[in-house]
Chain A
Amino acid sequence: MSGFTEFGDENMPTELTSSRILAIVDEKGKSKEQLLSILLAIQKESGENYVHEKWAQIVANELDLSLSKVYDVLTFYSMFSTGPRGKYIIEVCKSTPCYVSKSDVIAQIFENELGVKMGETTKDNLFTLLYTACVGACDIGPVAKIGEDVYGDLSHQKIAEIIKTYRGGFECQK
């Protein structure tokens, strides 16, 4: 399933151009085994934490894969999204060690602070609030992961602080 891409950028979502996608493929390595790394990098640069259909098609063409195979990967792994999300993904762990440490209460606090329910994105597109499975920080549960950073021993105050700092554009002390 090979070939050149005849891609006009007219219908491309504004965050990423086709040449940037091609560059990411080259950076990570243009081979099928690099698919996860490529898609993670695209998602990170998208600004909305997702992989658009058109970007996925370019990757599929470059790696000589069917789009349906790329889509399988995008929907199989929890870290990917095929639709746009907020700038910051807040993931509240609900696996049992955090659950018995009252992760449900933490989830509710986030919901109240952000004014959205689990699974939703704030109106300013800044935060998407999700559940996640264990992220390996059970010794400081209940835990929330925002982007690559993990915040533990959460309390109402801590959560308010965290949100305030992200709203201000900085990452704060864990």
Chain B
Amino acid sequence: MSKIVQFVSQNCGKITPDSVEDYIENGGFEGLKKAFTLKPTEIIAEVKTAKLLGRGGAAYPAGAKWEQLLEIPEFPKYIVCNADEGEPGTFKDKLLLSQDPLRVIEGMTIAGYVFNSNDGYIYIRGEYAAVQKSFQKAIDHAVQQGYLGTHILGTDFSFRIHIKTGAGAYVCGENSALLNSIEGKAGRPRIKPPHLAEVGLFSKPTLVNNVESFAAIPIITQLGGEKYLSYGTSDSGGTKLICLSGHAAKRGVYEVPFGVTLRDIIYDPEIGGGIRDGKKLKFFHLGGQSGPCGIPEQLDTPYCYKKLRAAGLAVGSGAVVIMDESICVIDYLKSVTEFFIHESCGKCTPCREGNQQLYNILCKFADGHAVHEDFKIMKRLVDAMTNASFCGLGQSAAVALSTCLTYFKDEFEAHINKKCPAGYCFQERESGK
């Protein structure tokens, strides 16, 4: 029984990406056609039944989000696709955008129809310049063939999609920061409330969803929420595009139904294929830099939102980064913290100062100068960052560290005694930094 599925990713690698003919031949735009026969409330009902949780990482129930926006009596409304994909270890949106762009276009158009919105924006990160170009081609072809633009499929409904570029800032993956970036400003997050459904892009009511979320919409509309839900578990509907990287033997994007186990993901020959070079798994990092780390003892946890959360793990963006025994946990966490230092927008105290202070303490461990008091200071920093940061970046910057303090306390202790179990720190080596 195959552990992977070809559901949302069924066209990837199999069609000419920007070809409307290919897309239609493979069932494309059936969702849109069906949508035009349904009422917006009916479509939202299907999305709710599907139990589609936001695929960008925050896992907010899409049905609830759509329902909230429908109730806002102000126009115009905007549909925004978050294609910033800055989370390290995540590259599944790139796959969808480059190999099945019309699916994403169809999903956004259905959303446009539901909210009577005529303008959609897709914010593609600046580093995906090639993807921006190819996606524009797909938009142009869809317009030419009447599936986008004015009078779609001969109806009164018109919908345009504009591509907006990022310029290198992970924090722009945060939805309110993303909207600021589309507006031509620095991508620092906004105060909430008001929420984006009330005051969003250009201060108008706005829907923001991830690429993979929009990609699921045509299927949900066409086949119904029940069908989509059935691919997953009772709480996590459908499938997830996961991304394996690090020391996995077979790195890449795989579409799995919710409910497969972490062991399946990492070791199944169809998916991760084990650890490269026959090494042993030391730990894995789920969901992105802001996600928790896990250990081999947790491998039998089913990959779904509820069960992972119960185990102190998370789906997040779908990233699964694998580390073998050559990796020192302290050194790894330094890299994680360095990332957050670099990507912090800088405006709030706990994140701007906290990440740097954490990094300094991690360096103390790595250099053998740490003392027991440092555990207390780290805890204070973690608590302050989690409780006090302005946005999700700061609030979750210390999650990986927290989990590693739980599972690898002895490794921290060892470093206090100037010993590195992975054999990395405290040795003579060429500086690679």
Interface residues of A (CB under 8 A from B): 31-37, 39-40, 63, 69, 72-73, 76-80, 94-97, 99-101, 104-105, 107-108, 132-141, 145, 148
Contacts and interface: CB of A to CB of B under 8 A. Distances in A.
Contact of B87 (A40, A94, A101, A134): A134
A99 B246 CA distance: 8
B64 interface: no
A40 B247 contact: no
A interface SS class: helix
Contacts of A73: 167, 184-186
A132 B182 CA distance: 22
Given A100-B321, A105-B432, A108-B432, A139 B251 contact: yes
9 contacts: A36-B167, A36-B184, A73-B186, A96-B289, A97-B321, A108-B430, A108-B432, A134-B88, A136-B85
Interface stretch (B2-10, B19-27, B121-129, B231-239): B121-129
Contacts of B87: 134
Interface stretch (B89-97, B219-227, B303-311, B376-384): B89-97
A32 B184 CA distance: 6
Contact of A96 (B94, B187, B244, B339): B339
A139 B87 CA distance: 13
Nearest to A105: B432
A134 B307 CA distance: 28
B165 A78 contact: no
Interface in B345-385: 345
Contacts of A78: 167-169
A139 B91 contact: yes
Given A77-B166, A77-B167, A96 B332 contact: yes
Contacts of A108: 430, 432
A76 B187 contact: yes
B98 to A, nearest CB: 11
Contact of A77 (B169, B243, B252, B253): B169
Contacts of B86: 133-134, 136
Interface string B243-260: 111110001110000000
B359 to A, nearest CB: 14
Interface in B68-99: 85-91, 93-94
Given A96-B339, A135-B127, A139-B252, 10 more contacts: A33-B183, A36-B181, A37-B165, A40-B165, A72-B185, A79-B168, A95-B335, A96-B289, A99-B332, A100-B321
Interface of B: 85-91, 93-94, 125-130, 164-170, 181-188, 243-247, 251-253, 285, 289, 319, 321, 323, 327, 332, 335-336, 338-339, 342-343, 345, 430, 432-433
A77 B168 contact: yes
A93 B126 CA distance: 15
B169 A148 contact: no
A43 to B, nearest CB: 9
B169 A76 contact: yes
Given A95-B339, A105-B432, A136 B169 contact: no
B126 A138 contact: no
Given A79-B126, A133-B86, A94 B335 contact: yes
A80 B252 contact: no
Contacts of A36: 126, 164-167, 181, 184
B184 A96 contact: no
A76 B39 CA distance: 43
Nearest to A95: B88
A153 B6 CA distance: 27
